[in-house]
Amino acid sequence: MKRWNRVAAVAATLWLTACATGGSNLPPPKMDAASPVVASYLIGVDDQLQITVWHNPDLSVSVPVRPDGKITVPLVGDVAAGGRTTDQVGAEIQQKLVQYIRDPQVAVILTALRSHEYLSRVRVTGAVRSPISMPYRQGMTVLDAVLAAGGTTEFAAPDRTELYRHNEAGATQAYAVRLEKILQQGDLANNYPVQPGDVITVPQRAF
């Protein structure tokens, strides 16, 4: 019984250490348009927005944010976008469309983040053919980023790939990615959505 208690204590210590260091035992990242970083992102000049009005394709447009911080939407006219979130912009457009459309449903999506250099980029490093720093775009996944970097080299250890992400507290967390399963077997279980500022690192295998 004493031996079992010692084993249990060691196991508990190892588990707590892994949680504290933010290692690969973390649960998979759940990133989408509603994630804290993307949802709280303040729109800036030159960002590209997709405005979608449900059941009204003629009113759905893709527009850049002008130097004055505004966008132009059919029927509505100019809407202030700079310094606001997509939810705030969508709510104003929806409110202004009420006089033209019954119960309008509006979605505003960031398709290109151009105003904040670091936040708007995803980086792929390590054993890939062309390490790259690319603009983030809505819906981007680990596979998209790795393919943009030319795929892995013959020296890569793809199943030891890590996705590094800053959390809200400013600490870096690492998430394990089974990249070989994604590339060779089409297993998309680890094909996580990425978010602005992510770094994907593909290590070299040990010889």
Class of CATH domain 42-112: alpha beta
Does 94 have pLDDT greater than 70?
Answer: yes
Domain chopping of the chain, boundaries:
42-112, 118-202
The domain 118-202 having CATH identifier 3.40.50.1820: the answer here is no
Q: What pLDDT digit, counting tens, does each position of 142-198 carry? A: 999 999 999 999 999 999 999 998 776 667 889 999 999 999 998 998 899 998 889
Q: What pLDDT digit, counting tens, does each position of 2-17 carry? A: 443 443 333 333 333 3
Q: Tokens for 17?
A: 């250490």
pTM: 0.51
